Amino acid sequence: MKRVFALTALAAILLLGACKKEKQNVESYHFSPNRVVTVSSDSKTSSNTFFVMSIGHDAKDCNGCIMSGGQFYHINCMGFGNVCNRTVSVALNQVGSIITATTTDTFDLTSEDFFLMPARSLYYYTEDNNNVVYLNIPEQMVYRDTATLQFTFTGLFLTNVPEYNND
């Protein structure tokens, strides 16, 4: 009986110790509906990067955001607001402090030849010292490249606090 009790106590101590160690190794995760998600691929040299974001507004909240033919129009899932959820595959490129993002899927955002990107701060990662890093995208109208059919966002920058309120 003493042996069964001793083995049970030992198993409980080992289990609690294992759980405690596991907890220490878990990276803290900062949830934000607007974030950068990086998914590793089977290749050792590449990964897929996605912008996950809420964008756009209802037509009733807009007198027109896009000028075409001298008139303003509303187009769903573009511009300010958070009515539409989008996941956009991108290639990030950084040269010095200049960061750009080019879409890698032709129609993730829209089938239009332009896209009104609202200002967005996307959670990017948490540094080793627990500082959160955001990738900030200024508001911009981007046009589809006629050869590649992709959009390129410019003027992106990193901060430890979100630059934009994502509305």
Based on C-alpha coordinates, what's the Rg of the chain? 23
From the list 152, 164, 147, the residue with the least C-alpha distance to 92 is 152
Per the structure, the count of domains in the chain is: 1
pTM for the whole structure:
0.76
Residue 127 lies in a domain: yes
Residue 166 lies in a domain: no
pLDDT classification of 46: cutoffs 50, 70, 90: low
pLDDT on residue 33:
80
Mean local confidence (pLDDT), 154-160: 97
Residue 154 lies in a domain: yes
Residue 38 lies in a domain: yes
Whole-number Å distance between alpha carbons of 32 and 45: 27
Residue 76 lies in a domain: yes
pLDDT on residue 31:
61
Residue 115 lies in a domain: yes
Q: Does residue 166 have a pLDDT over 80?
A: yes
Residue 105 structural domain: 2-159
pLDDT classification of 8: cutoffs 50, 70, 90: very low
Residue 165 lies in a domain: no
What is the tens place of the pLDDT at every residue in 53-106?
999 999 888 888 888 788 888 888 999 999 999 999 999 999 998 999 999 988
Residue 119 lies in a domain: yes
